[in-house]
Structure 1
Amino acid sequence: MSTPASAGSQPGRERDRDEEGRARNARPRDGLGRPLPHGAAGVERQPEGVDRTPEQAVSEAQRLLDDGMPFHAHEVFEDAWKSELEPDPLLWKGLAQLAVGLTHAARGNAVGGARLLRRGREHIQPHAEGTPHGMDISGLLAWAGQLAGELDAGHTVSSAAERAPRLRGRQQAR
């Protein structure tokens, strides 16, 4: 459904809207969530508002991270956060921020990537002694800290898939 563009936008252009009338960009996106031109082949978007068990959320996010699509993994974590999945919604928010941090780093935004990695670490830190849903929180903390430090030092991320964290199990040196 489309409605006329709001004041200040390009004349004659209509904004993409969802079923509830909220503005949504219907342009296809690449694996890092960047919009592509209308009509271009893009990566299928993650549906929003999907109810998943914590185990399903972790598995789906890992698959997307492994495929080099951290932006899409962040959407899975965001659904978990907004669904207030146990043990703590802020854990899921932190995981979403880690995924977005990797997204920014892979897009070439080192400053934003490092900032989001640090924010994500703050939110998952309270779970460092545990393994909620089998996740290696201490390993994720180390991964995020190392990557943020590398970004601060001027290093770049050439492949999101190669730098993706392991949500369960040991982190691999890259």
Structure 2
Amino acid sequence: MEGSPRDRDENGRARNARPRDGLGRPLPYGAPGVERQPEGVPRPPDESLVEAQRLLDDGKPFHAHEVLEDAWKSAPEAERELWRGLAQLAVGLTHLARGNAKGARALLDRGARSIEPFRAEPPHGVDVGGLVDWARTATPAPPRLVGGTSPS
């Protein structure tokens, strides 16, 4: 819509400043929301995995996706598809939690395809096999990113 103001970050890039709920859905301006993850934060891979797992454990897959997306954007070329796939799995889980089965299925399938090539030699201890198997069955609770399954 021409002439409408757009939310911008400190660098002038378009960024929706509306508060968000725990699943990343926009709330009305002024409503209390969940603190958003800072964007563009470079973290070592292990730190990215720990932070994303913490957010998943807290029921915030949308926010975990933001952490994984930062890792994807800063990863070496050889690992970009792994991080992109992990971010897609988190978005798929977000759609699943929001009740959007069709969107969840699409993102979970895409994420599983992206990380599948890493199954034989998973970097950073990522449980690629467990994640791929989970994504293909689309259960609501994902296994842990690194080793084993989620706590019951």
Which range, TM-score by smaller chain?
over 0.9
SS in 1 for 2:15: coil
2:147 is aligned with 1:169? yes
1:66/1:85 CA distance change after superposition, 3 Å: farther
Count of residue correspondences: 152
Equivalent-residue separation in structure 1 for 2:77 and 2:7 (angstroms):
34
Aligned residue in 1 for 2:81: 90
2:27 is aligned with 1:27? no
2:115 is aligned with 1:124? yes
8 Å contact kept, 1:68–1:164: no
Residue type of the alignment partner of 1:93: R
CA RMSD of aligned residues (A): 1.8
8 Å contact kept, 2:9–2:15: yes
The structure showing larger relative contact order (alpha-carbon pairs under 8 Å, at least 6 residues apart) is 1
1:88/1:65 CA distance change after superposition, 3 Å: same
1:65/1:173 CA distance change after superposition, 3 Å: closer
Structure 1 stretches of 4+ moved >4 Å? none
1:88/1:14 CA distance change after superposition, 3 Å: same
1:48-77 Cα distance to aligned partner (Å, 9 max, x none): 100100000000000000000000000111
Equivalent-residue separation in structure 2 for 1:22 and 1:40 (angstroms):
23
Aligned residue in 2 for 1:137: 128
Aligned residue in 2 for 1:3: none
Equivalent-residue separation in structure 2 for 1:95 and 1:130 (angstroms):
16
Give the drift of 1:38: 1.2
Structure index of larger Rg: 1
Matched-pair identity in %:
62
Structure 2 unaligned spans of 5+: none
Give the TM-score taking structure 2 as reference length.
0.92
Residue type of the alignment partner of 2:142: A
Give the drift of 1:115: 0.5
Structure 1 unaligned spans of 5+: 1-5, 151-156, 158-162
